[in-house]
Amino acid sequence: MVSLVNKKMRCSEHHMEYVAWLMTPIPHTKTTTFLTRAALRTGHNRLNHHMATKLKLVPSPLCSCGKNQTAEHILQACPYHSALRDTIWLEETALQKKLYGPREDLERTARFALQSGLTI
């Protein structure tokens, strides 16, 4: 019985360390730019929707504006990021192009993620 309690405590400690690591911002480098794009493409990221529905680490999947905080929402529709979106993309740009387009669009997407202040 004692070993089961110890095992559960170790698992709980490991879980808390993982959560702390997961919430730590990553410095901006070429590698993190690639990782940011991959996270936005796959949906396996630190946005509230994934953190709440898949990992159960945050209480709500909602953005500050009240909609599900997904990559599509942040890149296309969130009113809190509209000024930044308009600065980075001077014209309406499809989500597909932001995530899978030419290098210039991918660099804009990475710049948007960095400047938005969101941990992706």
Mean pLDDT across the stretch 30-50?
Answer: 87
- Give pLDDT, residue 60: 96
Report the range of poorest mean pLDDT among 1-10, 31-40, 76-85, 111-120. 1-10
- Give pLDDT, residue 20: 67
Strand partners, 68: 62
**3 to 8, 14, 28, 82: CA distances (angstroms):** 9, 16, 43, 53
Q: Quick one: what percent of the chain has pLDDT higher than 90?
A: 59
What's the chain's length in residues?
Answer: 120
- Give pLDDT, residue 70: 97
Say if residues 83 and 98 touch (Cβ distance below 8 Å).
no
Of the two residues 42 and 1, the one the predictor is more confident about is 42
Could you report how far apart the first and last alpha carbons of the chain are, in Å?
Answer: 41
Residue 107: pLDDT over 60: yes
Of the two residues 11 and 90, the one the predictor is more confident about is 90
CA angle 29, 79, 108 (to 5 degrees): 30
Distance CA 22, CA 75 (A): 22
Say if residues 53 and 59 touch (Cβ distance below 8 Å).
no
Residue 34: pLDDT over 90: no
Report the range of poorest mean pLDDT among 12-16, 20-24, 37-41, 48-52. 20-24
Q: List phi, psi (to 5°) of 45.
A: -145, -170
Domain-wise residue ranges, the chain: 27-116
